[in-house]
């Protein structure tokens, strides 16, 4: 959403000046956008809105520059959502989106949704028995990596993603990178001392080969920051240190790549009913 009152006012004026048959709906939608409040979550693009709707997001307002074109895209990529998108999407002039957003997504779709209840997420992260791991990112620095990890966690049906440190995992850049899949799993920021209960499996180059280790379904699988690895405090609390296979003279993997490898290993060795089947099966 725009935090510039001038741009917000310009968007409202442009919506009001649209085709009279559509101006009222567009102007109302822009008012809802501007009234959504600072805690609203920006869903940037068609795919983010698609995933958020599928996983129960409370979408407050959804805008697009070409409703007919967006519905054709939905018919191809998300036919299960065509009816809901027909009801929810409001078409506004392209200039309105430019006034409301710092950058308009190529699909010219944007929406605002309520952030899920922190209490509900904490309950989901702490519930026992736990049937799928919790991914812990220790002081991550790159918001794009955080979003990519959330997307992986959603795909593997992980219980959730917890970050430590000062980065908000619900920052718009993280939600954008996660393609709206923050709504498909429990995503929260916690102090290291407040992590959910469960065995702590820390990824570390000096650990045992992960291929010889079964990750328990209730594990907290901890990954370090892109530059500095896992903090000494969390490493010292580890129930096990595990390492990913990597050839000599290669220094590291991208954070999301490491998470994907670890979650794949869990899915290949676990009998949990949460383990997803391959797409199309």
**pLDDT tens per residue, range 196-246:** 999 999 999 999 999 999 999 999 999 998 777 899 999 999 999 999 999
Of 27, 31, 106, nearest to 65 (Cα)?
106
Q: Is 238 within the bounds of a domain?
A: yes
Residue 203, both tokens: 């990824």
Total domains present in the chain? 2
Residue where a domain stops, chosen among 60, 80, 113: 113
Cβ pair 179, 151 in contact under 8 A: yes
Residue 195, both tokens: 């992590």
Residues 71 and 122 in one domain: no
Residues 229 and 184 in one domain: yes
Q: What is the pTM of this model?
A: 0.89
Residues 171 and 87 in one domain: no
Residues 58 and 138 in one domain: no
Residues 254 and 168 in one domain: yes
Q: What angle (nearest 5°) sits at the alpha carbon of residue 267, between those of residues 262 and 273?
A: 145
Output the pLDDT for position 9: 47
Q: Within 10 A of 209 (CB to CB), how many other CB atoms are there?
A: 10
- pLDDT beneath 70: ranges in the chain: 1-23, 280-281
- Measured CA to CA, the distance from residue 276 to residue 281 in angstroms comes to 10
Residue where a domain stops, chosen among 90, 113, 136: 113
């Amino acid at each position: 959403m725009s935090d510039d009152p001038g741009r917000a006012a310009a968007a409202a004026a442009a919506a009001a000046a649209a085709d009279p048959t559509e101006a009222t709906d567009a102007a109302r939608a822009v008012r809802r956008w501007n009234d959504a409040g600072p805690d609203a979550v920006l869903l940037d693009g068609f795919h983010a809105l698609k995933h958020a709707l599928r996983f129960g997001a409370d979408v407050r307002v959804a805008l697009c520059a070409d409703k007919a074109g967006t519905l054709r895209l939905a018919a191809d990529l998300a036919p299960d959502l065509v009816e809901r998108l027909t009801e929810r999407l409001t078409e506004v002039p392209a200039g309105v989106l430019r006034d409301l957003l710092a950058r308009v997504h190529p699909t010219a779709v944007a929406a605002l949704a309520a952030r899920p209840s922190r209490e509900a997420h904490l309950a989901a992260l702490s519930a026992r028995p736990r049937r799928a791991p919790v991914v812990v990112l220790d002081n991550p620095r790159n918001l794009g990596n955080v979003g990519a990890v959330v997307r992986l966690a959603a795909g593997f049906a992980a219980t959730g993603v917890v970050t430590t440190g000062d980065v908000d995992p619900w920052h718009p850049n993280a939600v954008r990178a996660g393609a709206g899949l923050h709504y498909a799993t429990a995503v929260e920021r916690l102090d290291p001392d407040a992590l959910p209960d469960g065995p702590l499996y820390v990824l570390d180059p000096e650990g045992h080969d992960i291929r010889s280790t079964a990750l328990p379904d209730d594990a907290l699988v901890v990954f370090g920051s892109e530059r500095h690895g896992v903090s000494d405090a969390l490493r010292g609390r580890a129930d096990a240190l595990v390492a990913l296979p990597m050839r000599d003279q290669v220094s590291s993997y991208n954070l999301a790549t490491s998470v994907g490898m670890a979650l794949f290993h869990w899915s290949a060795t676990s009998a949990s009913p949460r383990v997803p089947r391959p797409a199309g099966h």
